[in-house]
Structure 1
Amino acid sequence: MKKVLSISLLVLLATSFEVLSQSRHYDSRSLSMGGGGTAYVDGYHANFINPANLMINSTKNRPKRSLGIVGGIGFRAGGTLLNLDVYDQYLTQGLTLEGEVAEGFLTDLFGGTNSELTKSQSATFNIVPFGFSNRGNKSAFSLATRVRVTEKFTINRGFAEIGVYGLDPQELDNVTPFNFSFGAVAFSEISVGYARQVLSLPNLLFAKNVKLYAGVAPKYIIGIQNSTLDFNSTIEIQRATNSQYANRIIHNFDYRLNTVGNVSADLREFEAAFEQDNSVTAGDYLSGEYANVNASGFGLDMGATLEMDISGVPIIDGFFGSKKTLRVSMSVTDIGKITYDVNPTSFTANGTFDFT
Structure 2
Amino acid sequence: MGGGGTAYLTGYEAAFINPANLAVPDKSTRFSIGIGTAAGFFAPVMSVGSASRQFQAYKNYLDAHQPEATAITASEKQLILDRNYPKGRSRSEHQHRMDLILGGIQWRQGDRAFSLTARTRFSTRTEVGRGWYDETFEDLDSSTSVRDMSLFQQSQFLHEFSFGYGQTFDFVSGLIPRVGKLYIGIAPKFILGGSYLDLQYDARYWFTDEMDQPLFTRSFSYRSTGNFSGATRHYTANGDPSAAVQRHFPSSFQQDFSDYTTPTGMGGGLDFGLVYVLTLGDDLSLAHSGNTQPIEKSLRLGFSVTDLGFVSYNENPRSLDHARDTTLTPFAAASGQKYEGSPGQYLSFFDEVPDLNPFQFNQVGRSDDSPERPFKAVLPTSFNAGMLLQVNRLKLAADLTLGLNDSAFNNTKLIAHFGMEFAPVKPVPIRLGAQVATDSPTLWSLGTGIVMKHWELSAGAQFLSPRGSPALNLSGAAVGGLTFHF
Normalised to the residue count of structure 1, the TM-score between the two structures is 0.61
For 2:101 and 2:108, the matched residues in 1 are separated by: 20
Equivalent residue for 1:55?
23
| Amino acid in structure 1 at the alignment position of 2:319 | S
Equivalent residue for 1:67?
33
Equivalent residue for 2:85?
110
Q: SS of the residue aligned with 2:92?
A: strand
For 1:23 and 1:297, the matched residues in 2 are separated by: 30
Equivalent residue for 1:24?
3
Cα deviations by residue, 1:124-145 (Å, 9 ceiling, x for unpaired): 2101001001012121111001
Contact 2:146 2:204 in 1 (8 A): yes
Contact 2:267 2:311 in 1 (8 A): yes
Cα deviations by residue, 1:66-110 (Å, 9 ceiling, x for unpaired): 01111x21124569x7899xxxxxxxxxxx987xx959x846743
1:180-191 superposed matches below 5 A: 180-191=151-162
Compute the displacement of 1:58 (Å).
2.4
For 2:83 and 2:231, the matched residues in 1 are separated by: 42
Aligned-CA RMSD value:
4.2
Q: Cα–Cα, structure 1 residues 143 and 157, in superposed 2: closer, same or farther, change >3 Å?
A: same
For 1:109 and 1:263, the matched residues in 2 are separated by: 27
Q: Cα–Cα, structure 1 residues 291 and 216, in superposed 2: closer, same or farther, change >3 Å?
A: same
Equivalent residue for 2:65?
none
Higher helix share: 1
1:1-356 superposed matches below 5 A: 24=3, 40-59=8-27, 61=28, 63-70=29-36, 72-76=37-41, 106=81, 109-112=84-87, 117-161=90-134, 177-199=148-170, 204-205=176-177, 207-208=178-179, 210-231=180-201, 257-265=222-230, 267-274=232-239, 281-283=243-245, 285-286=247-248, 288=250, 289-311=259-281, 324-347=297-320, 351-352=354-355
Max radius of gyration: which structure? 1
Structure 2 gap segments, 5+ residues each: 49-72, 137-144, 206-215, 251-258, 284-294, 323-352, 357-486
For 1:195 and 1:285, the matched residues in 2 are separated by: 47
| Amino acid in structure 2 at the alignment position of 1:45 | E
For 1:218 and 1:23, the matched residues in 2 are separated by: 26
Q: SS of the residue aligned with 1:153?
A: strand
Structure 1 gap segments, 5+ residues each: 1-21, 26-36, 85-95, 166-173, 236-250, 314-321
- Identical columns (%): 26
Compute the displacement of 1:337 (Å).
0.5
Compute the displacement of 1:157 (Å).
1.6
Q: Cα–Cα, structure 1 residues 281 and 58, in superposed 2: closer, same or farther, change >3 Å?
A: closer
Equivalent residue pairs, number: 264
Contact 1:253 1:351 in 2 (8 A): no
Equivalent residue for 1:241?
none
